[in-house]
Structure 1
């Protein structure tokens, strides 16, 4: 693990400490001992000490000479917006650059490893990690000879429309299957992950946002109890990964789709699967209307309504503001 990766791990651990403090409803002045935190979080004391220093810099804990670290405020005064922004790693930076360049048409269908290294001025280890990750995600494949080839994605308006038609037909139906069961523990964890992003002062990197988005849809599919639903949703997520990346810098749209996800989760928590299915349908239709075109333009794609007219408003949902990037679907 290099220096930037260690630094990132410290920020992640610091946020885990905050979550632990909030879950235990600790009061200001509580002594946060390194040994207790290390046991609770299953890590060694050294990274805990580094995480506590970060929290002290943020004003969430107080460092007292020869005494240790103490909580600076009651847990109920610490909201999710005070979570620390986790810095990116070299791999994340390179991944984002490759994705942006591929979407914009700046990269050919096939490239050698040397061409990648020359273009992005990165070392071989970082490059191989990124290419391996992209291969695992179905974005790129190693050629039989030398080089790598980008895999087909949603690269036309027609393909995008077809993808959403398929998903609107499939995903809400999965919520209504007789075999459907929403695990309350998984449901709460998914809701907590969304609330954390919604309350953060700035959005996390695009890769994390996509994983949250994909996890939402794949988790709902897994609740269906039908492996074919899960496989279909996973395939759609692989196809749309590149296209979604170009819109994740739109903070307003990010907040919209997270709120729509939370509305679906709320209906499921209340045991109202019919309402959850309607909300999921509305969310997917809103996402299509807000999707950037595969060619990079930002013209909204009309969503057909029962009255036969195209609209960017989905039934059962409030109108989506005029934002056409970062569909989050």
Structure 2
């Protein structure tokens, strides 16, 4: 008698490859700006920092390059990617579209338990701002926005928002202190609109809120990297200019 084959066998969990763990560790250092845009990434220094050999670091840098977090320059090495104003503007514009619709749907679908989760995250965020704990405030900001997306009830929208959320956090970190308490007061108003099931107001508040961060980031980027004036061109002297 043959043993019946199970219709579905449980998969044996495998350990995460070391390069993926190194990838996640380096990505967190980039997103939190502990590794800053334009910074040279030296393999042996990163290996020592993370307590690994150079090989998984090299592999992780290749993965990060493939996702646009790191730039590899032949003969020079790896550098943290420095986003251009156009690149940041495009991503933050997409984020505004996705999250505006998320807020609209959340106002229609959120229950009391979901609203309570938002209020708790907002209270924690305000406390982090008061303590000048930027890292915690940025993390809580990401969680609050992710919760709004979750409460929208639209799984496809959630998948799309998740694709941009890490890069949004990267752009938000440099301006979080300047946004400060104002950002969390905007969150409070948004949560009130969601609790009142006022979909149009929730959408408008989220649109304004995301555009505030977008404008501030682009302004700060312009302050740090102002456009360089073109060198003055010397006018060529022509024969026609003589004798006038």
Name the counterpart of 2:79.
Answer: none
1:152 pairs, out of 58, 68, 71, with 68
CA contact (8 A) 2:96 2:211 kept: yes
For the pair shown, which has the larger CA radius of gyration, 1 or 2?
2
Q: TM-score, normalised by structure 2?
A: 0.61
1:288 pairs, out of 214, 218, 221, with 214
Deviations 1:214-266 (A, max 9, x none): 12222111222211111111111122333322233x2x522111111111001
Q: Which runs of 5+ in 1 are unaligned?
A: 1-91, 128-140, 301-329
SS of equivalent to 1:187:
helix
Name the counterpart of 1:267.
Answer: 193
CA RMSD, aligned part only? 3.8
Q: Which runs of 5+ in 2 are unaligned?
A: 1-24, 70-81, 227-244
Distance 1:98 1:233, change over 3 A: closer
| Higher normalized helix content (fraction of residues) | 2
How far the C-alpha of 1:290 sits from its partner, in A, is: 1.0
2:155 pairs, out of 202, 227, 234, with 227
Name the counterpart of 2:78.
Answer: none
Q: How many matched pairs?
A: 186
Deviations 1:160-192 (A, max 9, x none): 111222223222223444995113213212212
2:202 is the alignment partner of 1:276: yes
**In structure 1, what is the Cα distance between the partners aligned to 2:207 and 2:181?**
18
Name the counterpart of 1:107.
Answer: 40
CA contact (8 A) 2:30 2:36 kept: no
Deviations 1:48-75 (A, max 9, x none): xxxxxxxxxxxxxxxxxxxxxxxxxxxx
CA contact (8 A) 1:174 1:229 kept: yes
Distance 1:271 1:146, change over 3 A: closer
1:199-278 alignment runs, 5 A limit: 199=127, 201-206=130-135, 208-248=136-176, 250=177, 252-278=178-204
SS of equivalent to 1:290:
helix
SS of equivalent to 1:280:
helix
1:71-90 alignment runs, 5 A limit: none
CA contact (8 A) 1:257 1:283 kept: yes
SS of equivalent to 1:291:
helix
Distance 1:275 1:99, change over 3 A: closer
CA contact (8 A) 2:142 2:165 kept: yes
